[in-house]
Structure 1
């Protein structure tokens, strides 16, 4: 039996650059020939030596020493080149481009998806609450009207953003991309697919708490849509007093029920799934799905404080007369058409939100734009809704949006990649929002008229 030992010719760095490896083997019977040594190519003796070397190839020469210990010098790939290939995460440049494209697609899809509903992002919630607080008589913003307006925007933006990212990172060969699904899967792809199925199988079956949460989520969405759909009377018409049933009523009611419903299935002695065992206290058979400690730990209190701070800022602008003063300073813009005022507001908000947080930017601009709309006698929704959507388009820098920072932290994209891709997405977003507010947004919110509820109420004087 032959004993194989692999060692570098020398531990010094300059000797490593000679591209030689010393293969030492012991054979007490006789000296092996060069032909017999070629069979060692299947022996991965260099695996785990820290150099990332490949299996041994044909030796170039045999050097006899003392007749007992032959030494064979074997050529191997350049150490620096092998290290560079090992350190690289991407087999080809196209793979690197695909990785960049997919990484940015995640953050852009998360941003665009948040536009669809009022609860999709914190900026939508801030707008809805501040708008209802400033204009309590306006009954135009609810879950249904917002969804009808924003859903086409999200679909158009997703398609255009995909086209832009494909052009930027993968070129214009869309036919090749669309035909990839018809090609035969490689072994690497099949292994990846198998790994995904294995990880999915580890999740186990859907647990009882997950089923209850899903049912409540669907029920909450239906109640939001049917509260005041607009084209037919909603379920709020069943109550005599108006103004007491809002979208928050549904959320609070269903959330309160989660504190009462047991997390364990009724008439069930134990939890069968692993997810159920992780969420249910086995010592308490009546443990609720959510406890007060869980609520305190998981509740995003920073959003509550931020929304409250926005109320305080809006009230301060109103009481002090700052809104009126700002509106008067912007009176020279009265000669511009409404769409031009809205476009300027969208561009300004999109630029500022790249360097400041989205909620803070919107909190500052909402009172100013409301006062501007009242002074120019433009429907406030004509400027507030597009500005609220454009404040989410902070996609050029990692600090502009939480999804940006998460994707950037993985190291697949550089800031220059985010700036180039984000600039195009910004332009796409502003263009699509302007298209929406000047087309289907006009009949939906009656934007051609200055409503009675938008009469300026800041009568306390100016600065």
Structure 2
């Protein structure tokens, strides 16, 4: 080959390499929009071949599922797809579709978040957390138990994200003080390769890992204890009441009474598991046990840290007391709206259907009526310096709500309700449910285990609410096709949607401890295997023994059939 031809070949090769690099860079930068377009086109051929109402609905749902899983668009934007496609495809009218985005469940969600934001705004959550932790004691075992209990309790009323984010700084404050006193290490430094100028990489010690996992796992378990504790519970409420409008619906009291036992047991098992696996409990001669034993002096240091943090809060302010009072009022109104064992207040004041959104929105409005202090009483003070120059703020302000309210989740819930109603109206959910009828020959408890295991696995990879939106309508129709009470599978499946313990993408608490604590994904995956197992078992056992009794599940109800008319 001549030198000139060799030079051209080399130049051509370099050009191809450069093109390949540029192409890969292009795909890396624009993969989201490329996937969005490609996924929508891939789904079109089956729609053209089988142009029925069910397939048109399936097209919209599969498109949303792909976008939700990959997050090629913001999840809230993906949730608005039914507003366009369902009316255009003749699945639902515009009025029916848009009605899914503002209903009782959405109002409960908004009111519950306003209440949670007010608790955080007043610092009431910190007082509760520090108060419990200084009460239980200051050994690692006791502190871990207090952390588990208070995180689970707070997560019953606020999002698991907020509960975890609140507890992590407290954890590091205590551990840092112990480290300075020489009683533990917060991080281990990995060895640096010879000749490397990079600083040593830090990894959390086993003690730190135990505390971080406790915060993440207990916030997840705690959220299952009430309807407002997590978005998946509210998703279930909306979907169930949409598919079965003639049922009695899901009320706050029933859910809480039925779910509290599994929440408490799972929280206790989490504490026990983390103590055994990371703090050397029941292994007195292990290295973990030696490191976790801080002695009497270590307890004193820890106690001083918590006492100091608590004193910094000062005495209980009117702001905290008023928010606590409204919080307890809301719980009381929820519990006794229509409890079943006594005549509820809602049954006394009206004959119309009054749902859980009424108490929480009432409390939310009252937070704007009640001032957070009594400065207005100093208007006539003899001292001009004490006279107020502006009106007192309420217990919560709209600016605070705007900054902290996750508005996108409202659209995510609404999109799920639209999927539910669309799949019902088109007959898609019924057809999918009928294909699963052969499962009826298996024992009912085994069917429950299979469904919960499947959901608990796939929820590790994408949004819990997104999984609930996609799977619950199908599970409902599967129960109808098998003539099984819908709640028998839907309630355990809903709780399983929250049980994401092994991957950072599964739920925000996992992501928080991974990023803030610099925790390797491998550590999270290893630690999360055991909670996934006992969470599944306790969830199913609790429902078939206690939950069925509370929800009064005896036989296949008449209201679950499509031809049922209310008496």
Whole-angstrom CA distance in 2 between matches of 1:399 and 1:366: 21
Of the candidates 328, 340, 343, which is equivalent to residue 233 of structure 1?
343
Whole-angstrom CA distance in 1 between matches of 2:293 and 2:470: 51
SS at match of 1:118: coil
SS at match of 2:495: helix
Tell me whether 1:249 sits opposite 2:358 in the alignment.
yes
Residue range with higher mean Cα deviation, 371-380 or 406-415: 406-415
Q: What pairs with 1:287-306 in structure 2 (closer than 5 Å)? A: 287-306=393-412
Alignment CA distance shift 1:304-1:136 (3 Å)? same
Q: What pairs with 1:40-439 in structure 2 (closer than 5 Å)? A: 96-139=205-248, 141-173=250-282, 184-186=295-297, 190-243=300-353, 245-265=354-374, 268-269=377-378, 283-439=389-545
Residue range with higher mean Cα deviation, 341-350 or 328-337: 328-337
Residue range with higher mean Cα deviation, 407-416 or 432-441: 407-416
How many residue pairs are counted as aligned between the two chains?
A: 362
Residues 161 and 428, structure 1, Cα contact 8 Å, conserved in 2? no
Whole-angstrom CA distance in 2 between matches of 1:114 and 1:317: 28
Structure 1 unaligned blocks of 5 or more: 1-78, 271-280, 459-463
Whole-angstrom CA distance in 1 between matches of 2:281 and 2:302: 27
Whole-angstrom CA distance in 1 between matches of 2:260 and 2:496: 15
Whole-angstrom CA distance in 1 between matches of 2:284 and 2:345: 49
1:403 CA drift (Å): 0.5
CA displacement 1:94-115 (0-9 Å, x = unmatched): x922211111111111111111
1:296 CA drift (Å): 2.8
Whole-angstrom CA distance in 1 between matches of 2:458 and 2:475: 14
Alignment CA distance shift 1:295-1:167 (3 Å)? closer
Whole-angstrom CA distance in 1 between matches of 2:561 and 2:512: 43
Residues 99 and 412, structure 1, Cα contact 8 Å, conserved in 2? no
Whole-angstrom CA distance in 2 between matches of 1:411 and 1:113: 21
CA displacement 1:163-186 (0-9 Å, x = unmatched): 322333234526799999998522
Whole-angstrom CA distance in 2 between matches of 1:257 and 1:401: 32
Residue range with higher mean Cα deviation, 447-456 or 379-388: 447-456
Residue range with higher mean Cα deviation, 195-204 or 324-333: 195-204
Whole-angstrom CA distance in 1 between matches of 2:290 and 2:377: 50
C-alpha RMSD over aligned residues: 3.0
CA displacement 1:211-251 (0-9 Å, x = unmatched): 111100001001111111111111111134231x1111001
CA displacement 1:42-83 (0-9 Å, x = unmatched): xxxxxxxxxxxxxxxxxxxxxxxxxxxxxxxxxxxxx999x9
Whole-angstrom CA distance in 2 between matches of 1:398 and 1:306: 20
1:432 CA drift (Å): 0.3
Residues 202 and 518, structure 2, Cα contact 8 Å, conserved in 1? no
Alignment CA distance shift 1:420-1:286 (3 Å)? closer
Whole-angstrom CA distance in 2 between matches of 1:330 and 1:425: 29
Whole-angstrom CA distance in 1 between matches of 2:295 and 2:466: 50
**1:30 match:** none
What TM-score results when the alignment is normalised by the length of structure 2?
A: 0.59
**1:72 match:** none
Residues 371 and 456, structure 1, Cα contact 8 Å, conserved in 2? no
Residues 280 and 292, structure 2, Cα contact 8 Å, conserved in 1? no
Alignment CA distance shift 1:377-1:189 (3 Å)? same
Alignment CA distance shift 1:121-1:283 (3 Å)? farther
Which protein has greater RCO, CA pairs closer than 8 Å, 6+ apart? 2
Whole-angstrom CA distance in 2 between matches of 1:401 and 1:266: 43
Whole-angstrom CA distance in 2 between matches of 1:122 and 1:216: 22
Residues 103 and 412, structure 1, Cα contact 8 Å, conserved in 2? no
Alignment CA distance shift 1:80-1:123 (3 Å)? closer
1:344 CA drift (Å): 1.3
Whole-angstrom CA distance in 2 between matches of 1:390 and 1:80: 43
Alignment CA distance shift 1:239-1:189 (3 Å)? closer
Residues 368 and 395, structure 2, Cα contact 8 Å, conserved in 1? yes
Whole-angstrom CA distance in 2 between matches of 1:377 and 1:306: 30
SS at match of 2:369: coil
CA displacement 1:358-385 (0-9 Å, x = unmatched): 0101011111101101101111100110
Whole-angstrom CA distance in 1 between matches of 2:209 and 2:420: 41
SS at match of 1:318: helix
Residues 501 and 532, structure 2, Cα contact 8 Å, conserved in 1? yes
Residues 346 and 387, structure 1, Cα contact 8 Å, conserved in 2? yes
Structure 2 unaligned blocks of 5 or more: 1-191, 380-386
